[in-house]
Amino acid sequence: MRVFVTGATGFIGSAVVHELIGACHTVIGLTRSNKGADVLSKAGAEVHYGTLDDLDSLRSTAAAVDGVIHLAFQHGSSDFAAALTTDLHAIETMGAVLVGTGKPFVTTAHLNGEASDNAVLALAGVRSSVVSLSLSVHDQDDRGGFMPRLIAIARAKSISAYIGDGSNRWPAVHRLDAARLYRLALEIAPAGSRLDGVGDEGVPFRDIASVIGRHLNLPVVSISREEADAHFGSFLGAVAARDLPRSSALTQELLGWQPMHLRLLPDLEQHYFIN
């Protein structure tokens, strides 16, 4: 297939590009920079310059390919509501030219992004699917995910903290397993699929804090929920306290997908404290 991938130079998108090319698909990757174009070219992908705001460009490219994987999102935006609106408009624009074609359209779920999820799943005559990734998508090249943030906070605060008894669980998935999930969604997911990108169903937060503390030679300390926002920041403080176990059993059965790469704790042990 000729596949249009948005977010093609990101942490997950770059792995998806390699996964697709390795499976003999042709990739057209969206980028807004010459640096991104160079990354795509070296990976063997075609380059399409543009942004999520350039709806005409998204429309024409989506119309010219055999399938779309939408990974781009304005994560750095200070206005999260506006970022969700941009995502919705991009999905509506690309989805409109896919209606009735039977082509695959794979998108990514985001917090409070139900409008985008519903929009893609409602497209008639489109083999649409929505991938819900784990809270932690990890790999040795991770620079901006939750694990590097927790490590940086521990260094800055001189303790590795968890909240309460730390038994609350976080789901996780290796980046390369996530990339394979996106490829399988493109190739075989039935229309209307909701897919769970989960490798570890639930890693106790205390165990994450313990690995960080041991590698940084810092005390591993329980803090209260009231202390968490000051320690982690308001957003991460809330997330660090939540118990969020998830299963991908139905997704594995549907697509024959099985997580094969390192689970979170071994990956954290081996790759996050090199520098």
pLDDT tens for each residue of 43-62: 999 999 999 999 999 999 99
In sequence order, the 6+-apart residues with CB closer than 8 A to the CB of 140 are 267, 270, 271, 272
Partners of residue 69 on adjacent β-strands: 5, 106
**Cα–Cα distance measured from residue 199 to residue 176, given in angstroms and rounded to the nearest whole number:** 11
- In this prediction, residues 132-158 reach a mean pLDDT of 96
- Cα separation, 267 vs 212, whole angstroms: 12
Question: What integer is the mean pLDDT of 179-198?
Answer: 98
- Which band of pLDDT confidence, cut at 50, 70 and 90, is reported for residue 208? very high
Same CATH fold, 136-172+200-245+262-271 and 2-133?
Answer: no
- Mean per-residue pLDDT of the chain: 96
Nearest to 171, CA basis, from 114, 99, 121, 243: 243
Share of the chain above pLDDT 70, in %: 100
Q: Look-up: residue for tokens 């460009």?
A: 57
Helix (H) or strand (E) holding 174: strand 169-174
Sequence letter at residue 141: D
Domain 2-133, second-level architecture:
3-Layer(aba) Sandwich (3.40)
| Position 274 pLDDT exceeds 90 | no
Q: Spell out the domain ranges in the chain.
A: 2-133, 136-172+200-245+262-271
Closest CA to 211 of 160, 143, 261, 174: 160
CATH architecture of 136-172+200-245+262-271: Alpha-Beta Complex (3.90)
Q: What is the mean pLDDT of residues 226-230?
A: 96
Say if residue 275's pLDDT is above 90. no
In the chain, the largest separation of any two C-alpha atoms, in whole Å, equals 58
